[in-house]
Amino acid sequence: MRVLLTGGAGYIGSHTAVVLLEEGHDVAVLDDLSNSHVEALNRVEQLTGKSIDFLEGDLADAQLVQRYFDENNFDAVIHLAGLKAVGESVEQPTRYYQTNLSTTLTLLDAMRKSDVQRLVFSSSATVYGDPQSPLISEEHPVGAGIQNPYGWSKLMNEQIIRDTARAWPELSVVNLRYFNPVGAHSSGRIGEDPSGIPNNLMPFISQVAVGKRLQLAVFGQDYDTRDGTGVRDYIHVMDLAEGHVAALAKTTPGVETYNLGTGTGTSVLEAVQTFEHVSGKQIPYEVKARREGDLATVIADSHRAGEKLGWQTSRTFEDACRDAWKWQVQNPDGYGPSR
Ligand code: NAD
Ligand code: UFG
């Protein structure tokens, strides 16, 4: 298939590009490089020995996007482009709604005009809001308790896509609700390259281990969990990437939704211990107050993806830490300063 990967130069997109190319698909990446580096795509090409068509630009630019659709014969789209920093979305709500909604609207219009009928969309476990149970299936209610504009923008995107599918019955959509993506390609050539101070646990731990940051702040040790720290379902980014390629095989019209996670939880302190073990470095930490909006435990029930997409994870949390460490050591400054 000829696949358009929006946001394909980013963290999840670059790993997904590797799997797509390895499985024999043609890949075009549409990205404005606002949170990524073209070097990621060069490295994907080196890793796979295959080339990517890079279509630079803003996915909200309707004219440009339509031109790209007119010039290419896409069979399917994997839509990952967007803004993703939860805290930033609270500070800049209009920017988040503007970007995360207008990109999807433009894309859907171009897909319909060009009759591209397959879409895989990057959603998030954040749509479940404040979960009623630690283990979350796709049947869990969505919306109630979402704490930030980023989370709302994901749920609104799902609604926009569902309404579009109702009006356009041939459209086939898979919404993938990711839990916590971590790790890197096992080569250490591509990985997560956060700009500034990382918001997320694993890139922060990694930067402490390599000596870029002094210590980790553990946000709360008074949760109702094994050791009092927050528990999350960390999924290796290559397992996640394989989930996207499995989702492309769906051809039936209509919308399907799948959780992508491992079904097991890891606490903050367990994550620290595992990272210390694989890196041989000490990770100093200090327990601080809870971070506003954080939940005690969030774990995916991913049975549906196993049954319907034939997808399962094959990498452990320790593998993810080892691969993230390899990436961090080989690329202490990520892909470099220019972004
Ligand atoms: P990322 O920031 O690394 O990748 C997103 C890419 O989109 C970047 O390359 C960026 O330059 C590009 N982009 C942003 N705005 C654009 C625009 N207007 N036009 C064209 N390109 C644009 O993020 P990621 O971690 O790879 O996440 C990919 C997707 O997965 C996002 O939609 C994100 O919300 C979703 N997601 C991520 C996580 C996570 O923890 N990483 C969890 C759940 C869902
Ligand atoms: N944590 C720390 N210290 C840090 C960073 C995080 O103790 O410096 C803790 C958090 O309190 C939480 C755990 O580590 O218990 C994981 O935090 P992350 O920020 O890595 O991930 P979140 O689960 O908060 O957020 C992730 C994605 C969001 C998504 C959300 C919902 O980053 O995009 O999951 O599933 F919206």
Q: How far is CA 191 from the centre of its chain?
A: 12
Contact 59, 8 (CB under 8 A): no
| 34 Cβ contact list (under 8 Å, min separation 6) | none
SS (H, E, C) 107-120: HHHHHHHCCCCEEE
Give the tens place of pLDDT for each residue, 72-116. Answer: 999 999 999 999 999 899 999 999 999 999 999 999 999 999 999
> What is the amino acid identity at position 328?
Q
Tell me which of 200, 287, 321 to substitute to probe ligand 2's pocket, judged by most ligand atoms within 8 Å of the beta carbon.
200
Pairing relationship of beta strands 135-136 and 180-182 according to DSSP bridges: unpaired
CA distance 294 to 308: 31
Residue with tokens 């000490």: 282
User: What is the pLDDT averaged over residues 10-29?
Assistant: 98
What predicted TM-score, i.e. pTM, was given to this entire model?
A: 0.97
Give the tens place of pLDDT for each residue, 198-227. Answer: 999 999 999 999 999 999 999 999 999 999
Annotated active-site residue in 68, 128, 150, 178:
150
Give the tens place of pLDDT for each residue, 254-310. Answer: 999 999 999 999 999 999 999 999 999 999 999 999 998 899 999 999 999 999 999
Q: With the C-alpha atoms ordered 75, 179, 285, 271, is the resulting torsion angle positive or negative?
A: negative
> Which residue has the least CA distance to atom 14 on ligand 2?
201
The full set of domain ranges for the chain reads 2-182+234-261+301-314
Radius of gyration of the CA atoms of the chain, in A:
19
Whether 68 sits among the annotated catalytic residues: the reply is: no
Neighbours of 291 (CB within 10 A): 13
Two tokens, residue 208:
């402490």
Give which of 241, 176, 333 is closest to 14, Cα–Cα. Answer: 241
Q: Does domain 2-182+234-261+301-314 have CATH number 3.90.380.10?
A: no
| Ligand 1 atom with minimal separation from the 102 CA | 18
Two tokens, residue 132:
């009623």
Tell me which of 232, 235, 292 to substitute to probe ligand 2's pocket, judged by most ligand atoms within 8 Å of the beta carbon.
232
